[in-house]
Chains A and B, each alone.
Chain A
Amino acid sequence: MKTENQKAWFFVLPVLLLVAFNALIPMMTVVNYSVQETFGNNQFFWEGLTWFEQILNSERFHNALGRQFMFTALILIIEVPLGIAIALSMPRRGVWVSVCLVLMSLPMLIPWNVVGAMWNIFALPDIGLLGYTLNHVLGIPYDMTQDPFAAWVTVIAMDVWHWTSLVVLLAYAGLVSIPDAYYQAAKIDGASNWAVFRYIQLPKMKNVLTIAILLRFMDSFNIYTEPFVLTGGGPGNATTFLSIDLVKIALGQFDLGPAAAMSLIYFAITLLVSWLFYTLMNRENLNDYKEVEH
């Protein structure tokens, strides 16, 4: 049971101040821009909700949003089961654990633009390892700079390469926390591998998996640097995800008003989906506590 204590606010105060400084002031600026029009010279004119209407009705925004959801869904569908499968097959103790952990974490520690640049060269049709192998050894025509499908495959492959390890790491952490006694009991009961997975391993991994899924959702929904360096959002607009489109509007065309309005809509969508995840997660945890009490 937690104690009621209003003084706990003081413990939270430094975090609040730091995060509020970074979050609220820029947020106010964005809100400010979203309802005004400027022609430079620091002159601003009140525009009301025009930009919001314009963005919500624009096909460009709908397309970017669609691509974004498609990308995030694919990422979660591929990375979560793959990560669990790899975690399940990893050794539980010994030197190999360290080797696996260190090697697997390596992609996550590479700066994002390096990841993009690396995959860009890796996938070039005539001089990259991946591109050359596909085109000249396996005879599959592949050019991510020309073919939207190839660009998508490359972006997805890059993200799977980059982030599956996060799921592996967290799922593995959940797995090693299971006491041996559970497995022994299951063995005595003659449980199948599937039953062990379904009734022992999966429930034990649930909390860490929720963290993994939430983190993967947030990061893939906001992805910018890697696909931007890899394909520049092309060919055409095939891999222009929300963030890329936003930066194109904000800095490329310098349309601050529409960009700010789009930011707020984008943020609202992320918030809504995350809130859904978050409440679902909390509800499940509540159920856990109830089970314990009975």
Chain B
Amino acid sequence: MQKRSIVPIVYIVFLMLPIYWLVTMSFKPTNEILAGFSLFPQTFTTDAYRTIFTDPTWYWGYFNSIIYVSLNTVISITVALPAAYAFSRYRFLGDKTLFFWLLTNKMAPIAVFALPFFQLYSAVGLFDTHWAVALAHCIFNIPLAVWILEGFMSGVPKELDETAYVDGYSFPRFFATIFIPTIKAGVGVAAFFCFMFSWVELLLAKTLTAVAAKPIAATMTKTASSAGYELGLLAAAGTLTLIPGAIVIYFVRNYIAKGFAMGRV
């Protein structure tokens, strides 16, 4: 047992090294970073963080990201729930083809679609809104959510549905009060994956926004402006992007351990 735990520890140390580097850099002034190598900040400064928290273009970047990621997660899960139910319980014309077609959208190279997406969302007047990014991210999150939820739902015996009908539950009531609570771990896992992929995606988010809905990751490219590279600021902004993710994963960690343990996923 003792010897075995070395592997995860070594792995975690490997994971933490670049993160450590990012965090220490965020406390160094840029000219110290460029001057040479040092393991700890020589001149400790929080200027970078002060800039981010006082400049609206910076802190609004975080709000924008969080807004469209939340919108996307809610939309994806809401429409994926009934669809996954249909795929797991019923056979209908073209169900297998449809399921595979959904998956192909997860495979679509986003780089390919960036320009057409820009034209499409400009045409419908959604360019530079949170809705544009939230809807566009559906292209890869909905297939993933359907895929994950279908796995969980197939793990629930059909007798549950039948018993509910016999007991006189209407379908919507059964679905909302019995079925969804049964697979709530699965909903947690699917929501986590949607959050994750929407939070980290940049190419579409950047293409579909200009000012009003600009994500934080795109705001960060500003650090390479005419005034040269502001590495300290870049590192501080990067460090702050870790926090929402870490909070979300802290809250869903039990769902993930429990959720993955049941059913197919």
Contact = CB atoms under 8 A, between A and B. Distances in A.
Interface in A102-125: 102-114, 117-119, 121-122
B200 A111 contact: yes
B136 A22 contact: yes
B177 interface: no
Contacts of B92: 4-9
Interface stretch (B43-51, B52-60, B106-114): B106-114
A127 B25 CA distance: 11
A121 B239 CA distance: 14
B36 A89 contact: no
Given A6-B92, A19-B102, A274-B103, A108 B119 contact: no
Contacts, number: 281
Interface stretch (A52-60, A142-150, A181-189, A265-273): A265-273
B101 to A, nearest CB: 8
A78 interface: no
Given A8-B86, A112-B200, A19 B139 contact: yes
A208 interface: yes
Contacts of A136: 37
Interface centre among A6, A101, A207 (most CB of B within 10 A): A101
Interface in B226-245: 231, 234-235, 237-238, 241-242, 244-245
Binding site secondary structure of chain B: helix
Interface residues of B, number: 101
A165 interface: yes
Contacts of B257: 97-98, 101, 173, 176
B21 A122 contact: yes
B83 A177 contact: no
Contacts of A110: 200, 238, 241-242, 245
Contacts of A114: 217, 220, 237-238, 241
A141 interface: no
A12 B83 contact: yes
Nearest to A211: B265
A174 B261 CA distance: 6
Given A111-B217, A177-B261, A242 B116 contact: no
Contact of B107 (A91, A164, A170, A222): A222
Given A19-B138, A102-B250, A112 B112 contact: no
Nearest to A256: B115
Contacts of B250: 102
A73 interface: no
Given A122-B18, A225-B203, A6 B93 contact: yes
A242 B142 CA distance: 25
Nearest to A97: B257
Contacts of B37: 126-129, 132, 136
Nearest to A85: B7
Interface residues of A, number: 93
A112 B201 contact: yes
Nearest to B109: A222
Q: Is the interface of A mostly helix, strand, loop or mixed?
A: helix
B111 A86 contact: no
Given A6-B93, A102-B249, A109-B246, A19 B254 contact: no
B120 A29 contact: yes
B176 to A, nearest CB: 14
A74 to B, nearest CB: 18
A207 B264 contact: yes
A118 to B, nearest CB: 5
Given A19-B139, A104-B11, A112 B202 contact: yes
A109 B249 contact: yes
Given A2-B91, A109-B245, A11 B116 contact: no
Interface stretch (A43-51, A195-203, A231-239, A243-251): A243-251
B105 A225 contact: no
A26 interface: yes
Given A128-B21, A275-B100, A8 B90 contact: yes
Contacts of A71: none
B75 interface: yes
B253 A18 contact: no
Contacts of A102: 246, 249-250, 253
A218 interface: yes
A21 to B, nearest CB: 8
Nearest to B123: A25
A239 to B, nearest CB: 15
Q: What are the 8 tightest A-B residue pairs by CB atom distance, in nearest-first order?
A: A173-B260, A109-B245, A26-B116, A11-B86, A263-B112, A29-B116, A8-B90, A8-B86
11 contacts: A4-B90, A110-B238, A111-B216, A113-B217, A121-B33, A164-B11, A172-B260, A218-B107, A246-B109, A247-B111, A251-B115
